[in-house]
Structure 1
């Protein structure tokens, strides 16, 4: 087995190799031979696994930026030639996926500190948070008399205080449930993604914050969601999403499925397998990579215990016939 060479040259070389593997697996032409060769490549050292994980996560995060960059590049053209002037047209400058990714990874050190790949280490905001949970960890925090905060995996919050009393919190990332059982309600506000949720008297609500998408579900009582100058009141078994300047209509919510994580269970009712894998990845170290697009679209009806995630690949194999390739570092490829 190769030992880790700490030099910058070796680090860059590993990421370049990882880029080639990523391009191969996203091309749609990867073979069983490629999977075996990739496994051998990963087994050379933990640095190989980390290089691939960082590269894949980087490409996912930079997808919108890559699309915007390409659009700007293609728009940067001179006037077209015409038979009258015979002036040659400048061809749009095109940047390949490979070239963009190479440049992005080279400039990603600061980005990695802000958003670590697969949460291999805490981000800067996590480190500075008043409370946070690691991958797979759940935590209960008593914020005051009859006021409890339940934190799911990969969650970080900062508390807000007024005159020494906790009056609210900032949900930086992750998922929480707030339970206020006091008959003498004092205002408590959750701030997330540019919006605010006023937790009502004797109320429970669930709030998920992933990127710019915020989901609020009423479990008991009523809460008021304020976003972009609009107010929405959520009652029991109602849900709304907001983000990117928009707020959705109120829709019915499955309270049992929303609260299931408190019992260390995940419930999926007709969700695409791709979404199921993304949710499962929040609770386990490493990453499950789904490369089969037809498989990704398959609908899933399942109840999965968080205590059985070590068997998840076998369950998916048995249910859908997926081929499973186990790699170091908790990485699995489903094809």
Structure 2
């Protein structure tokens, strides 16, 4: 059986391979080469993406799973997977083994992970995180459901009269369990998003915060260029706060904006430069566009996250762009010949 240079087997049973990749990517010694090899494995076969989603989807309720005594019996399997000796496991066992892999590797469980140099200190304030191209869904103690997007991190703070979480980086979608007596608050830098029972998306980009409200109502409070402000949002709208710019709320296609939850990105006439930037968020292998005219080319379509080769193939098929140079880390897009 052929292996990548990282030592992780890429052929054979997709479920076992996905569990092995999970262990590898959450190990302390994961390298850039490991992530690139994983990206190639993920794109090599549609079954790989399905298996990966199965492993990630089974990783729910990590705080309660960590305390489950059944994990003790599965930790040996998890360590075997981390040593690149995959074997057949059913989906339920994969979810438990995956959780134990994260616990052993120092992953996103109960405040034992370093994130950006800052260590969570309270053992009852878990930090959940994802790597580039990953997506993770978990259930909170109140039955609210959170889905973390690519390269994201979320801290669950102390809960009392309110349910408070802090988005440390990236993007998260919240399906909030109704409890009028306890507001659900997501803190992001110097702003907060408050809901009672609703569904909304919060995303952090350099110098910009955006909130997309799918259903219900939320209140946003915090610092703005004109001082402290508070606004309320209605369903079907998006709030944007950018550095040195006033807040804005505009109608938005929530299905389009939430497509990433299903592993897809939807574009409708956006310039290629913006499309490339969005695709790059989900892949270690980056696209680049140097030509200003090409960068301004409008692009419409639905693309799978992390599928760089498939995206480039679509651009070539429709005569929008060609590959000028490609290597393990980068794909340069150029204008097609006249």
Q: TM-score with structure 2 length normalisation?
A: 0.58
Residues 326, 218 of structure 1: CA spacing in aligned structure 2 closer, same or farther, 3 A cutoff? same
Q: 2:150 matched to which residue of 1?
A: 153
Moved segments of 4+, more than 4 Å = 125-129
1:130 equivalent in alignment to 2:122:
no
Kept after mapping to 2: 8 A contact 1:135/1:153? yes
* Structure 2: distance between partners of 1:281 and 1:126: 26
Q: How far apart in 2 are the matches of 1:317 and 1:292? A: 16
Give the match for residue 261 of structure 1: 260
Seen in structure 2, the aligned counterparts of structure 1 residues 220 and 232 have a Cα distance that, compared at 3 Å, is same
Aligned CA distance change for structure 1 residues 166 and 156 (closer, same or farther; 3 Å): farther
Quote the RMSD (CA, aligned, Å): 2.6
Alpha-carbon offset, residue 308 of structure 1: 4.0
Q: Which has the larger radius of gyration?
A: 1
The Cα offsets for residues 116-152 of structure 1, whole Å up to 9 and x where unpaired, read as xxxxxx9625876811101110001212223111101
2-structure distance, mates of 1:282, 1:126: 23
After superposition, what is the alpha-carbon deviation per residue over 1:231-280, rounded to whole angstroms, capped at 9, x for unaligned? 11111101111132544232101111111111111111121110000000
Match of 1:189 in 2: 185
Instruction: Mark the CA change 1:127 to 1:161 in structure 2 (over 3 Å): closer, same or farther.
Output: closer
Number of paired residues?
Answer: 215
Once the two structures are superposed, residues 11-51 of structure 1 have per-residue CA deviations (whole angstroms, 9 ceiling, x without a partner) of: xxxxxxxxxxxxxxxxxxxxxxxxxxxxxxxxxxx99xx9x
Alpha-carbon distance between aligned partners in 1 of 2:302 and 2:324, rounded to the nearest angstrom: 24
Contact 1:180 1:204 in 2 (8 A): yes
In 2, the alpha carbon distance for the partners of 1:319 and 1:268 equals: 15
Native 8 Å contact 1:227 1:247 kept in 2: no
In 2, Cα distance between the equivalents of 1:126 and 1:287? 27
In 2, the alpha carbon distance for the partners of 1:333 and 1:148 equals 38
Please name the residue that 2:24 is paired with.
Answer: none
Counterpart residue number, 1:312: 311
**Structure 1 residue 300, shift from structure 2 partner:** 1.4
5+ residue gaps in structure 2?
A: 1-31, 37-113, 121-125
Question: For the residues of structure 1 that align with 2:143 and 2:229, how far apart are their CA atoms?
Answer: 29
Whether the 8 Å CA contact 2:285–2:308 is kept in 1: the answer is: no
The TM-score with structure 1 as length reference comes to 0.59
Equivalent residue, structure 2, for 1:301: 300
- Structure 1, unmatched stretches of 5+, are 1-45, 51-121
Q: Secondary structure at the match of 1:314?
A: helix
Flag the structure with higher helix content: 1
Q: 2:309, 2:119 → 1: CA distance?
A: 28
Does structure 1 conserve the Cα–Cα contact (< 8 Å) formed by 2:162 and 2:185?
A: no
